[in-house]
Amino acid sequence: MKRIFSGVQPSGDLHLGNYLGAIRRFVDLQADNDCIYCVVDLHAITVWQDPAELRQRTREVTAGYLAAGIDPKKSIIFNQSQVAAHAELAWVFNCVTRLGWLNRMTQFKDKAGKNREKASSGLYVYPNLMAADILVYKGTHVPVGEDQKQHLELTRDIAQKFNNDFGVEYFPIVEPLIQGAAPRVMSLRDGTKKMSSSDPSDAARINMTDDADAVAKKVRRATSDAELLPDPSVIGPDGQFTAEFRQSRPEAANLLTIFAALSGQTLADTVGAFEGKGFADFKKEMTDVAVAALGPMGAEMKRMVEDPSHVDSVLRDGAERARALADPILAEVYDIVGFLRP
């Protein structure tokens, strides 16, 4: 059996990118795997979070997991700060990772921006904590969106270096699972930018809790281009849009990809259905598809956050089960490293 681990930060509204790139796939993987899904609050504070909002968002992400269909009896759902072993293993990895490796991380460069001196040191060692999240359970497979690929390569390097340094075959070399219909959902305002909770414009993303009116408005205002929708010749042999099409018409490629992913159709079926039509017709149908897919989930999330007793008990129970798995692994790592525990 594979051991699946993944996480989502409670640092902004959950959006369609989180859902299609990650959370929806978490649900599918539960069927025949051992799954651990974390709300990574330690990662969230690498940039400033208002404490009351952080608590609220932690519940919101948990509610998103549950509303999407993750079963807390089968899978473990918990928030990271409740399991101390994550931070403890991260310290060991701070001493394994080389500065040169961290200096190559593009997410740090993006998030720190021009004023790097002002970024927190937590933001810099963020990938070490992410490696610890996964490896403290000896996770083998990690479902994520495409933006996390470089971090998972670093996780593999850390595991390999730890094993080499100590002459053990201890940590598995994790496999990223970057698949599904939409591993990279782009902004509704600019098809060359990732859909992100840190985008200052809320119109750039569809949030999981947006109501039908908000979805309709955002889809209507989504940037498109002046051409008609394409014919299926823009789909490559892998069933995805050709790189040429994505480059020349990024917004059309993004909207059609989202439509196909939400409706459960193949890209070829979606493109076939709208061939030669204008964006106005397409956007009406896209609104219907998005509202049908997200509406019930958003309502369920709001209900669970309003009365958080269920969410809180899921997190309490999940943390207990997570600690039972992580603590013995951390103890073995401490032995390997040579920490005396008389």
The DSSP-derived string for 147-202 is: GGHHHHHHHHHHHHHHHHHHT---S---EEE--SS-SSPBPSS-TTSB--TT-S-G
DSSP reduced 3-state for 7: strand
The whole-angstrom separation of Cα 225 and Cα 213 is 23
Contacts (Cβ under 8 Å, ≥6 apart) of 342:
none
DSSP reduced 3-state for 39: strand
Q: How many CB atoms lie within 10 A of CB 289?
A: 20
Among the listed residues 3, 4, 5, 279, the single contact to ligand TYM using CB under 6 A:
5
Q: Taking the complex as a whole, how short is the minimal distance between the CB of residue 307 and ligand TYM, in angstroms?
A: 25
- In the β-sheet with 76-79, what is the strand arrangement from edge to edge? 76-79, 34-39, 3-8, 141-143, 175-177
Among the listed residues 53, 88, 147, 288, the single contact to ligand TYM using CB under 6 A:
147
Q: Taking the complex as a whole, how short is the minimal distance between the CB of residue 130 and ligand TYM, in angstroms?
A: 4
The whole-angstrom separation of Cα 60 and Cα 63 is 5
Among the listed residues 49, 62, 97, 148, the single contact to ligand TYM using CB under 6 A:
148
Strands 34-39 and 3-8: parallel
CB 138 within 8 A of CB 172: yes
Q: Does 8 bind ligand TYM (CB under 6 A)?
A: yes
Among the listed residues 6, 79, 97, 254, the single contact to ligand TYM using CB under 6 A:
6
Q: Does 159 bind ligand TYM (CB under 6 A)?
A: no
Q: Does 105 bind ligand TYM (CB under 6 A)?
A: no
167 phi-psi bin (left φ>0, alpha ψ -120 to 50, beta other): left
Q: How many residues are there in the chain?
A: 342
Q: Does 183 bind ligand TYM (CB under 6 A)?
A: yes
Tell me the per-residue interface mask from 39 to 78 with ligand TYM, x by CB under 6 A, - otherwise: -x--x-----------------------------------
Report phi then psi at 35, rounded to 5: -120, 140
Among the listed residues 4, 17, 60, 136, the single contact to ligand TYM using CB under 6 A:
17
Six-digit token pair at 152?
A: 């998972």
Q: What residues form DSSP beta bridges with 68?
A: none
Q: How many residues bind ligand TYM (CB under 6 A)?
A: 25
DSSP reduced 3-state for 38: strand
Q: Taking the complex as a whole, how short is the minimal distance between the CB of residue 260 and ligand TYM, in angstroms?
A: 14
Q: Is 272 annotated as a binding residue?
A: no
Q: Taking the complex as a whole, how short is the minimal distance between the CB of residue 266 and ligand TYM, in angstroms?
A: 19
Q: Does 22 bind ligand TYM (CB under 6 A)?
A: yes
Nearer to ligand TYM among residue 43 and residue 218 (C-beta):
43
Among the listed residues 185, 219, 286, 293, the single contact to ligand TYM using CB under 6 A:
185
For residue 21, give the DSSP letter.
I
Q: Does 301 bind ligand TYM (CB under 6 A)?
A: no
Tell me the per-residue interface mask from 268 to 287 with ligand TYM, x by CB under 6 A, - otherwise: --------------------
Q: Which residues make up each annotated binding site for L-tryptophan?
A: 133
Residues comprising the binding site for ATP?
9-11, 17-18, 145-147, 185
- Which residues of the chain form contacts with ligand TYM (CB under 6 A)? 5-9, 17-18, 21-22, 40, 43, 130, 133-134, 142, 144-145, 147-148, 151, 183-185, 194-195
